[in-house]
Chain A
Amino acid sequence: DIQMTQSPSSLSASVGDRVTITCQASQDISNYLNWYQQKPGKAPKLLIYDASNLETGVPSRFSGSGSGTDFTFTISSLQPEDIATYYCQQYGNLPPTFGGGTKVEIK
């Protein structure tokens, strides 16, 4: 199985800050990488697919980049409603696997 290493596991930032999360795959997955947001007690929500495509209705402050094994997820200006855990997920190889998550908090 492909291992997805996400970092950091948690972070604290101020409203308006730029937040960056990285995800590294244990082997080349091309651009088959998604990012999800999960708020406590809720189902995950798709934000970014194919590494950089913004899902319909998702605010443009969210973005993704990367290919191969190294990927980045960015919130350009952190908002209070962005408090959540973020997961990357690869689907380049079966089985699909998720990163361990990054918990984002407000400082």
Chain B
Amino acid sequence: QVQLVQSGTEVKKPGASVKVSCRASGYTFSDYYIHWVRQAPGQGLEWMGWVNPNSGGTNYAQRFQGRVVLTRDTPISTAYMDLSRLTSDDTAVYFCARDLSSATVVTVLDFWGQGTLVTVSS
């Protein structure tokens, strides 16, 4: 069965960076785009970007441009989200999610990781 398993809780100081991993299993990792979505405490969902596990190509939401880097390590079926220059506003649960389409990116998110809480506090 398809599973996305994320790395554990992180606590960071303002100005630091965080790297969250997302290990996929149960399907061919290179065939489906991986998206990252975050959710601040008590708030809604915010799309951050996607990575093409086959080519490594990426697309980022403009508000995260220059601060987020999405990468992948295809041999170990793992995607990564690296967010730099953290502030308290980045305190959130970060989710990875698989795109439903294997042909192209459509942003229909059919499988999700369990989420990783990132707390930014001095």
Query: A-side interface residues toward B, CB under 8 Å?
Result: 32, 34, 36, 43-46, 49-50, 55, 87, 89, 91, 94-101
Residues of A within 8 A of B113 (CB): 43
Interface residues on B, range: 20 to 34
User: By the criterion CB–CB under 8 Å, are B114 and A43 in contact?
Assistant: yes
User: By the criterion CB–CB under 8 Å, are B108 and A45 in contact?
Assistant: no
Greatest chain A CB density within 10 A among B37, B45, B106 is at: B45
User: By the criterion CB–CB under 8 Å, are A97 and B108 in contact?
Assistant: no
7 residue pairs A–B, Cβ–Cβ below 8 Å: A34-B108, A43-B115, A44-B45, A45-B112, A46-B108, A91-B107, A95-B62
Complex interface residues of chain B between 51 and 109 (CB less than 8 A to chain A)? 59, 61-62, 95, 97, 100, 106-109
Min Cβ gap B17→A in Å is: 22
B100, closest chain A residue (CB): A49
Greatest chain A CB density within 10 A among B97, B106, B107, B114 is at: B107
Query: B-side interface residues toward A, CB under 8 Å?
Result: 37, 44-47, 59, 61-62, 95, 97, 100, 106-110, 112-115
Min Cβ gap A31→B in Å is: 12
A91, closest chain B residue (CB): B107
User: By the criterion CB–CB under 8 Å, are B112 and A94 in contact?
Assistant: no
Residues of A within 8 A of B97 (CB): 43-44
Residues of A within 8 A of B107 (CB): 89, 91, 96
Residues of B within 8 A of A36 (CB): 45, 109
User: By the criterion CB–CB under 8 Å, are B108 and A91 in contact?
Assistant: yes
Residues of A within 8 A of B109 (CB): 34, 36, 44, 46, 89
Contact for A95 among B44, B47, B106, B108, CB less than 8 A? B47
B4, closest chain A residue (CB): A43
Min Cβ gap B63→A in Å is: 8
Q: Give the distance in Å from the alpha carbon of A49 to the alpha carbon of B108 in the complex.
A: 7
